[in-house]
Amino acid sequence: MNAPSHGVAAAQRGFSLIVVLLLLAIVMVLGVSAAQLALVNEVAARSDRDTEIALQAAEAALVDAERDVLGPNADAAARLCLFDHRDIAAFAAGCGTGRNLGLCAATAPGETPAWMAADLSPASAVAVPYGRFTGQSYVAGEDQGAVPAHPPRYVVEAIRNRGGWEAHRLQGAGAEHATHLFRVTAVGFGVDARTQVMLQTTLYKSMASPGCP
């Protein structure tokens, strides 16, 4: 008479065990998913921070380049006189060396712009490191914490001024009337040097800096 009740109890215990195992499996899956999501969020947050650091470094390089081109710049290495909108003799193919470092000659229409061909890597021999001609400093280094792995860099490209900056005023096409703008391309690095942000701006220098011929 008791055999059927024992069989039902055993079946119920077996069913309960299956339910518990299923619940444990679900909890484990949810736990693993939560851990993976947390890891992905951490990686994303770190990437966003790294990109922001690189962006700030690139913006700083643009400011440094503006000081290099337009001044004021009282540093002993200043080269303000090389930036003349009518005379771009200091700009060379390959972006120059020495005092002319980072000065890229204008390219003909249809050719690859100099900024696309220039080496802007941390080990570049043609890009200007931050502060090279202005005396400014920028904290960087792989062991310096939440700062760029390398100082930002930039090149300055001479480009033909096709229209001027005044509304409805076009510029003469003759060589004797040619003037130039200065396109700056800057790159900033994140804590991870593989994170890079590139920014550009165009500078217009209508007259020579004080003390220049």
17 within a domain of the structure (yes/no): no
- Kindly report, residue by residue over 81-94, the tens digit of the pLDDT: 999 998 999 999 99
20 and 115 Cβ atoms separated by less than 8 Å: no
Above 70 in pLDDT, residue 164?
Answer: no
What distance in Å separates the CA atoms of residue 94 and residue 76, rounded to the nearest whole number?
25
Instruction: Enter the tokens of residue 205.
Output: 């220098």
Closest CA relative to residue 78, chosen from 128, 152, 151, 138: 128
Task: Tally the domains of the chain.
Answer: 1
3-state DSSP assignment of residue 8: helix
Closest CA relative to residue 205, chosen from 78, 92, 76, 86: 86
16 within a domain of the structure (yes/no): no
Closest CA relative to residue 155, chosen from 209, 111, 201: 201
pTM recorded for the entire structure: 0.77
Angle at 164 between CA 159 and CA 165, to 5 degrees: 115
Range of the domain at 80: 38-203
- Kindly report, residue by residue over 1-10, the tens digit of the pLDDT: 455 566 666 6
Confidence (pLDDT) at 16: 78
116 within a domain of the structure (yes/no): yes
